[in-house]
């Protein structure tokens, strides 16, 4: 993918997987305004590309996935500039969260503040032994604003979300795995490769079913069980009436790999 992207790079892997790399390693991949704009642009392109079946969000360098908002850039900002930046940041976090394809975060090192929020905006978090999560916003006079309070609440429950958000403490990978923030924990240096493998495995499944299942998982958050089951039913119908379902069952019966029509 070409175009003026700053602070990130985008790579296409095999046929169906796209990787977005947070790429300001000298600043621990801290999120500045230009980078946030680029993330929104890249996600808009990826989201509209029906040939992309899974997305990996990874980071350059060895020390950090992302150390949050670029506090040096913010240091020089007026209140008005900060409010303008907020809209750009909201668009970036929203763009990752709303990607229609499954998203896998590959986390190594620090994932703090906005970094933790980017990881939580993905469907699945893979983290290596060096990963450290945290929402330290209250320690710098802020509230998590990239979805952190609400994503922590939904992913971890009210008690743990309050613990993390109100203390701003760091969560080592052991605890992150135990509390269910991290779905897969891998040896140091293996997060990206594992995330790409996972994305490839997902991309091998029916694209219609995978997107519909993601919609059900996402839209079922925070609604009543009855409403959530209606959402699941709609997802089921989408998949059940698709060419992918016909092909999936024909391939099973014919003992061959499916060739998904993707519709
Ligand atoms: N912003 C800018 N630069 C940073 C940041 C950052 N957040 N974090 C690290 N850096 C820079 C350092 O200044 C340093 O640069 P230089 O060499 O030029 O001085 C370089 O990266 C390396 O950092 P350190 O020397 O500090 O490395 P350490 O290993 O000693 O420490 C830490 C690493 C623990 C990650 C430490 O750098 C740190 O605490 N950073 C700040 C973390 C933080 O508080 N993040 C939360 C910020 S608030 C936020 O993310 C809100 C997001 C809201 C988005 C939603 C909007 C809608």
pLDDT digits (tens, 9 = 90+) for 230-257: 999 999 999 999 999 999 999 999 999 9
**7 pLDDT exceeds 80?**
yes
Residue in 26, 28, 89 to alter for ligand 1 test, most ligand atoms within 8 A of Cβ: 28
CATH code of 177's domain: 3.90.226.10
Computed on alpha carbons and rounded to an integer, the radius of gyration of the chain in Å comes to 19
Do 233 and 198 share a structural domain? Answer: no
Considering the domain architecture, whether residues 42 and 85 belong to the same structural domain is answered as yes
- Which atom of ligand 1 is nearest to 64's Cα? 35
Specify the pLDDT at position 3.
59
Question: Looking at the structure, do residues 63 and 166 belong to the same domain, yes or no?
Answer: yes
Indicate whether 212 and 169 sit together in one domain: no
Residues 195 and 211 in one domain: no
Residue that is written with structure tokens 């590309």 in the block: 49
Q: Are residues 160 and 237 in the same domain?
A: no
Whether 263 is in a domain gets the answer: no
Averaged pLDDT score across all residues of the chain: 96
H-type alpha helices, 143-224: 148-156, 158-167, 173-178, 191-203, 207-219
27 within ligand 1 shell (Cβ under 6 A)? yes
pLDDT over 90 (residue 2): no
Whose C-alpha lies nearest to ligand 1, atom 11?
27
Same domain membership, residue 217 and residue 95: no
SS3 7: coil
Expressed as residue numbers, the domain containing 219 is: 207-254
Helix axes 79-97, 114-121, angle to 10 degrees: 30
Q: Quote the ligand 1 centre to 66 CA distance (angstroms).
A: 8
Are residues 221 and 92 located together in one domain of the fold? no
pLDDT-derived band at 53, boundaries 50, 70, 90: very high
Whether 110 is covered by a domain: the verdict is: yes
* Within a domain: 98: yes
The per-residue pLDDT for 76 is: 87
- Look up tokens 């519909």; give the residue: 212
Distance between CA atoms of residues 3 and 77, nearest Å: 28
Residue 1 has pLDDT above 70, yes or no: no
- Provide the angle, in degrees to the nearest 10, between the axes of the packed helices 158-167 and 148-156: 140
Tell me the CATH number at 214.
Answer: 1.10.12.10
Euclidean distance between CA atoms 12 and 83, whole angstroms: 34
Q: Is the pLDDT of residue 138 over 90?
A: yes
* 199 and 235 share one domain: no
Work out how many domains the chain is built from and give that number: 2
């Amino acid at each position: 993918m070409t175009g003026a992207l700053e602070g990130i790079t985008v790579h296409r892997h095999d046929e169906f997987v796209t990787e977005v790399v947070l790429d300001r390693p000298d600043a621990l991949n801290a999120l500045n305004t230009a980078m946030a704009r680029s993330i929104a642009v890249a996600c808009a392109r990826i989201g509209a590309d029906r040939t992309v079946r899974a997305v990996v969000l990874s980071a350059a360098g060895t020390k950090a996935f992302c150390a949050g908002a670029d506090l040096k850039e913010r240091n020089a900002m007026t209140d008005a500039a900060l409010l303008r930046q907020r809209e750009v940041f909201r668009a970036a976090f929203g763009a990752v969260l709303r990607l229609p394809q499954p998203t896998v975060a590959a986390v190594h090192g620090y994932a703090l503040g906005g970094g933790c929020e980017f990881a939580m905006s993905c469907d699945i978090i893979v983290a290596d032994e060096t990963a450290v999560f945290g929402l330290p916003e209250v320690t710098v006079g802020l509230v998590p604003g990239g979805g952190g309070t609400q994503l922590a609440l939904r992913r971890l429950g009210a008690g743990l979300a309050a613990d993390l958000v109100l203390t701003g403490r760091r969560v080592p990978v052991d605890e992150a795995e135990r509390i269910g923030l991290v779905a897969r924990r891998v040896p140091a240096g293996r997060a990206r490769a594992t995330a790409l493998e996972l994305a490839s495995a997902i991309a091998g499944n029916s694209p219609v079913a995978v997107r519909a299942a993601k919609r059900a998982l996402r839209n079922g958050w925070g609604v009543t069980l009855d409403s959530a089951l209606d959402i699941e039913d709609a997802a089921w119908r989408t998949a059940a009436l698709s060419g992918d379902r016909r092909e999936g069952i024909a391939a099973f019966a014919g003992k061959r790999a499916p060739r998904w029509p993707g519709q």
